[in-house]
Amino acid sequence: MIHSVRFIVVLDTNVIYPIIIRDILFWFAYYDLYTPKWSEDIFDEWKNIMIKKGITEEEVNKRINNANNAFPDALVHNYKSIIDIIQLPDKKDCHVLAAAIKTNASLIVTNNIKHFPEKYLQSFGLKAKTADDFLTDIIDLNPKQAIHAFKEMVLNKKNPLQDEWKVLDLLKKASLINTAKCLHTLL
């Protein structure tokens, strides 16, 4: 079930980089709706994207350190030895599955679902879901906790200040359309 910190989820780079998606995923994890996991390789990809987008090295390191400090048990270790035996359509995604296997995750949250074939993941006891599908599942199973997490996230949006409706709009623009709808119905 997705209503427990025992529900371990590996977050792919493409759901960590967009700030609004990362924010809601991290706030839901902070409210113990699931346990996030990531790897050094995932964060290296995140770092490279941020640098390409013109974010300073200082800010990049601050964001990475903040994530690791907020969730000190999220970093998966000793997964690299199994990367070479994994066969995915895109070899650059094998490290994500390796981290999921190593940490006994139940799910990979990625917006590149086609890179993680369902049948192959099932052989490892895993599934992959988009961020939107994952978040709507959490909201459906834990509406009170999810709305508290959302409201807390909104209260912490200070640069610039944003209200709930603006944040819902940002979620929609980031392809979290169903997530935004679910949250809207709870407000």
Q: Pick the residue with more confidence: 14 or 157?
A: 14
Residue 170 Cα distances to 35, 157, 162, angstroms: 24, 12, 10
Interatomic CA distance for residues 165 and 169, integer angstroms: 6
Task: Please list the alpha-helical segments (H only) found in the chain.
Answer: 13-16, 19-30, 40-52, 57-70, 94-102, 118-122, 131-141, 143-155, 164-173, 177-186
Query: Residue ranges per domain, the chain?
Result: 8-131
Asked if residue 35 has pLDDT above 80, the reply is yes
pTM of the model: 0.94
Of 3.40.30.10, 3.40.50.150, 3.40.50.1010, 3.90.1150.10, which CATH number belongs to 8-131? Answer: 3.40.50.1010
pLDDT of res. 113? 96
pLDDT digits (tens, 9 = 90+) for 156-174: 988 788 899 999 999 999 9
pLDDT band at 4 (very low <50, low <70, confident <90, very high): low
Give the model's pLDDT for residue 1.
42
Report the amino acid identity of residue 22. Answer: R
- pLDDT tens for 110-147 read 999 999 999 999 999 999 999 999 999 999 999 999 99
pLDDT number for residue 172: 97
The chain-wide mean pLDDT, for the chain, equals: 94
Residue range 25-31: mean pLDDT, rounded? 97
Identify the pLDDT of residue 5. Answer: 57
Quick one: pLDDT at residue 42? 97
Helix (H) or strand (E) holding 109: strand 107-109
